[in-house]
Chain A
Amino acid sequence: MTTLNSVGHATPRIDALKRVTGGATYTADIAVPNMLYARVLRSPHPHARIRKIDLSKAQALPGVKTILTHDNCDIIWSSGDTRNKRYLFNNPVRFAGDAVAAVAAVDRYVAEEALRLIEVDYETLPFVLEPEEALKPDAPEIQPGGNLSPNNQGKAEPAIEKRGNIEEGFKAADHVFEDRYQTPHINNAQLEPRASMAHWEGDKLIVYASTQGIANCRTDIAKDMKIPVEKVQVICQYMGGGFGNKNQCHDFDLMAAELSKRADAPVRLEFTRKEDFISVHGRWPTVQYYKVGVKNDGMLTAIQMRGYSGMGPYRKGAGDISGVEVYQVPHVEKTSYMVYTNKAVSANFRAPAYPQGVFALESVMDDAAHGLKMDPLEFRLKNYTRKFRDQQPYSSSGLEDCLRKGAERFGWKQRWRPAAADTGVVKRGVGMGMGMFPSSLGRSNAILRVDSKGNYDVHVGVTDCGTAAKTTMALIAAEALEAPLDRITVIWGDTDTCPYSVGESGSRTTVFTGQAVIEAAKDLKKQIAEKGLPKGDQFWRADAAPNPQLRDLARYSFTAHFAEVEVDTETGHIRVTKFVAAHDSGRIVNPLTAESQVKGGATTGIGMALHEQLLYDKRSGLPLTAGYYNARIMTHMDAPEIEVVWVETDDPYGPYGAKTLGEPTIIPAVAAVANAFFNATGKRVKELPLTRDKVLGALSEGALA
């Protein structure tokens, strides 16, 4: 690949100084005169019908301005459920944390006190927490029509994906490996707490949101508030992470808007950390039954998967279980049940369908390699995908290099030994996993301007959820304009000053909006070539809204992760001692922030493998581990050194050949750690996370059961 001037050079974030010196204004920092504070009352039951809500005491409390409940507010939150009508306030309430009322008051203490004065008469209903239980005929019905959430055709059937003939695949196999795997609900646990500040200027609604996509947020708000999209302005200048749970507009944005309208005052609605954990959404928990067929030489013949995803009571997320495509195999059958439960809602969290799917997939593949007495790396080199679903060529693929170069940096050859090779108390083991994630193309916009001094403005509708998107756009603009970085000013995060951007979800911003910046820059350069620089207060402007499409090609990013662990077999303690993450994300636009992406994603995956979960009390249906302490979110002390290996393919599409990066970074990390545990001990823990009870249980051969 050719070396470029700006793109490809490690560059600090353009807003780094503001962020680390307290100069960045986050949504919860925004305050305006006469602003009211809002709080939400939430269901203390996993499933209950509300007989009556008595607001008289709460309304009598001095300082209380407005209260919304299902009795007086029928706004539908359309992005909160893609199958059913989900209101801001639902009756019955279907999970512990479902919103019952929202109060706006003069300060947050009055608002909180008012919540306590609202008297709700609940008729508790039977509830169900686990997806397999929820499909039993006698399970309590969570949504009308049953607990199997409809598929894309609107039918209450599982999603089925077939290729070849699965029976033939198993017939052709010399060995069959099968097992059941389970993964828990895990919260995104982004650092920035959730808040929304809404106010009206006449018939115009202004919302300061904490969102990964101002354009989508704006469209959603306009739709649900039933006002024209031009009458909504969404602003998000700085945000502190979302990892997928700030993609759309959220119910609290709508609540703040409606409270503000009724109280005729600006309203800031805030969440506690506990609310953030239970009432937004997290990663969908799964149960997965895998069955794979292999020949004696290690070639795969069939992969069959039956999976159950617990979606919570509303279908906010897709719920699929992904990863199978990373293997080349002629016969595939995937059956996925997306199931309503009375747990917290499940939806997007960094590569939503992948880490849990790849944990199970790569566990069963690891078992297959072990059963065949093969090096797991050799097994994967034999079976990795050459064509998408064995049919469609990739625009570029560095998967083999991820496997080879990652393994080389890791020292796989020297470190890998057959399972349970160590005889001492502390056993060392290595594991790996591979994955892929779509790097799609599509529409996004950019507006570029140049003034008489040759300074450029880059208007892009990004908010920068932590990916350094603003800096990425500046680098791409500098490259495309052949201008130094300090001539570029990025204007972001405000739907009134920025054009449409795809939103920082699906790891699309660099590719989509980056391409728009390039197209606008081309136009602007042409104008400058024709007219010269503008004079005086004039400026030239270029708008671009490219919508590139792929033809007959699959475009994916690829990755392989390698982990070494030490397992203390007496205490059950697991320590990750080495971790290498190899990534093909095409050309890397900013190696500095890209490395941070990989480290963050891999660390989250390690946490998912070792200790994170939103655990429920089975008898009450209430969550027990909402919050950073009990959910055992990774701390700095838990994070190992993560070495990053770039496999830069020269992809013909995307800005300078860049492909998706943010989400692939978590995908194989979970499996790599779990497989390393197996390699160390010869025991497989099939239910995440690998906590002491499960680890010591597995090591005790059932003596602790």
Chain B
Amino acid sequence: MKTFTNVNPKSVQEAVKLLGQQGKTTAVVGGGSDLLGMVKERLIQPDILVNLKTIPGLDKITEQGGEVRIGGLTTLATISQDPTIRSRYKVLADAAGAVGTPQIRNAGTIAGNVSQRPWCWYFRNGFPCFKNGGKTCFSIAGENEFHAIFGGGPSYIVHPSDTAPALVALDAKFRIAGPAGERTIAASEFFAPPSKDPSRENVLAHDEVLVEIHLPAAPRGLRSTYHKELDRESWTHAIVSVAVALEMDRDFCKKARVVLGGVAPIPWRLPKVEAMLAGKRITPELAAQAGAASIEGAQPLAKNKYKLPLTKAIVKRTLTAVAA
């Protein structure tokens, strides 16, 4: 571990200023559950850690005009247990509750979860890949059982966040503070494919802070859930997951959002599946068709073809379960 200085700003503006210091490597720290491990492994070597936990008010869940706002520092445990989130945005509570372990959920924050770095073993073991500043992705011809089947290239990581697919499914907005003030963008615009810049997973600039997440008022009849497949019973990232949000009118689906996790470098929306479901009664047959359609266009690597039947199965099942 390289020695660093920890700074405790009192406001977001101060944090942004600290992050933008010239001549210093800086990193923002919230729960620190992953960041400190990366510092120890020297995957990042910041001179200064800007600690957001001393800024008051960033860990609250509030309501404004039907919209629910979640402070970036709200822990995953809080979100998974919050009565409002659980009743109106179940997919997010499910996803937050599916992250890691109780210890990680108690420390880890929502902002940290959506912006965490990938868990590709080449990246985490310090191989000189795109994510470590190199010019290649080792997974393409390597051990790629956990890598992308959609949207890969030139990097084939999968986005590791459980809450990210849920937030895309809920059409959340991310409020971001930076040196030039604030901007608010859709969750789907926050995550960036590797074709843009293979070293990064999102559009958050180095001197920006993800301050708050806004969930639009839950439409009537919104039913949602998150399903995660792990390769042991806890403490792994999704090998495949699916976030489903359906606006139901009795047993008709008015509008659907279906987003996969664990299969692509970004939360992977399935517009075609969503269109198949809109305006229909979700029968087991339709759910099965949606499952089959969910893997259309997938380009598996040598060792992750198993993700195809797995994706099919959980899309089918999750849709059936939500509609039931």
Contact = CB atoms under 8 A, between A and B. Distances in A.
Contacts of B143: 615, 617-618, 624
B228 to A, nearest CB: 11
Nearest to A615: B143
B145 interface: yes
Contacts of B310: 570-572, 692, 696
Given A617-B143, A629-B236, A570 B313 contact: yes
Contacts of A623: 125
Nearest to A695: B306
Interface in A626-674: 626, 629-630, 632, 634-638
B314 A704 contact: no
Given A570-B313, A696-B309, A632 B229 contact: no
B127 A620 contact: yes
Contacts of B309: 570, 572, 696, 700, 704
A450 to B, nearest CB: 48
B127 A697 contact: no
Contact of B229 (A573, A619, A637, A705): A573
Contacts of A15: none
Given A615-B143, A617-B143, A624-B125, A629 B235 contact: yes
A683 to B, nearest CB: 14
Interface in B78-111: 101
A221 B25 CA distance: 45
Contacts of B125: 622-624, 626
A696 B306 contact: yes
A299 B71 CA distance: 70
**Residue picked from B145, B232, B317, most chain A C-beta under 10 Å:** B232
Given A112-B1, A619-B141, A629-B236, A624 B229 contact: no
B210 to A, nearest CB: 25
Interface in B216-253: 229, 231-236, 239
Contacts of B317: 570
A638 B233 contact: yes
B197 to A, nearest CB: 25
Given A630-B121, A632-B236, A692 B141 contact: no
Given A571-B314, A697-B306, A635 B122 contact: no
A679 B122 CA distance: 36
B142 interface: yes
Contacts of B306: 572, 692-693, 695-697, 704
Interface string B147-173: 000000000000000000000000000
Q: Is the interface of A mostly helix, strand, loop or mixed?
A: loop
B211 to A, nearest CB: 30
A151 interface: no
A611 B233 CA distance: 11
Interface string B1-13: 1110000000000
A634 B138 contact: no
Interface residues of B, number: 34
B127 A637 contact: no
B53 interface: no
Contacts of A624: 121-122, 125, 143
Nearest to A626: B125
Contacts of A626: 125
A630 B306 CA distance: 19
Nearest to B145: A693
A691 interface: yes
A544 B12 CA distance: 72
A463 B157 CA distance: 45
B303 A632 contact: no
A695 B108 CA distance: 33
B142 A635 contact: no
Given A611-B231, A629-B235, A618 B142 contact: yes
Contacts of B2: 113
Contacts of A618: 142-143
**Residue picked from A623, A634, A695, A696, most chain B C-beta under 10 Å:** A696
A455 interface: no
A229 B121 CA distance: 45
B233 A637 contact: yes
Contacts of B320: none
B304 interface: yes
A697 B231 CA distance: 15
Interface string B253-274: 0000000000000000000000
B304 A619 contact: no
B35 interface: no
A625 interface: yes
A273 to B, nearest CB: 10
Contact of A611 (B232, B234, B304, B312): B232
Contacts of A109: 1, 3
Nearest to B291: A570
B41 to A, nearest CB: 8
**Residue picked from A622, A634, A705, most chain B C-beta under 10 Å:** A622
Contacts of B234: 635-638
Nearest to B41: A274
Contacts of A704: 305-306, 308-309
A626 to B, nearest CB: 8
Contacts of B236: 629, 632
A704 B1 CA distance: 42
Interface string B102-137: 000000000000000001011011010000000000
Interface in B47-69: none
A632 B231 contact: yes
Given A624-B121, A692-B239, A634 B232 contact: yes
Contacts of A620: 127, 138
A636 B101 CA distance: 11
A380 to B, nearest CB: 30
Interface in B291-319: 303-306, 308-310, 312-314, 317
Contacts of A610: 232
Contacts of A622: 125, 127
Nearest to A637: B233
A632 B304 CA distance: 18
Contacts of A638: 232-234
Nearest to B312: A570
A693 B232 contact: no
A72 B200 CA distance: 44
13 contacts: A109-B1, A570-B309, A572-B306, A572-B309, A610-B232, A619-B138, A629-B119, A630-B121, A693-B306, A695-B306, A696-B309, A700-B309, A705-B305
Given A637-B232, A693-B305, 10 more contacts: A571-B229, A618-B142, A619-B141, A624-B143, A635-B234, A638-B232, A692-B231, A692-B306, A692-B310, A704-B309
Q: 7 closest A-B pairs (Cβ-Cβ)? A: A637-B233, A570-B313, A696-B306, A637-B234, A624-B121, A704-B305, A693-B306
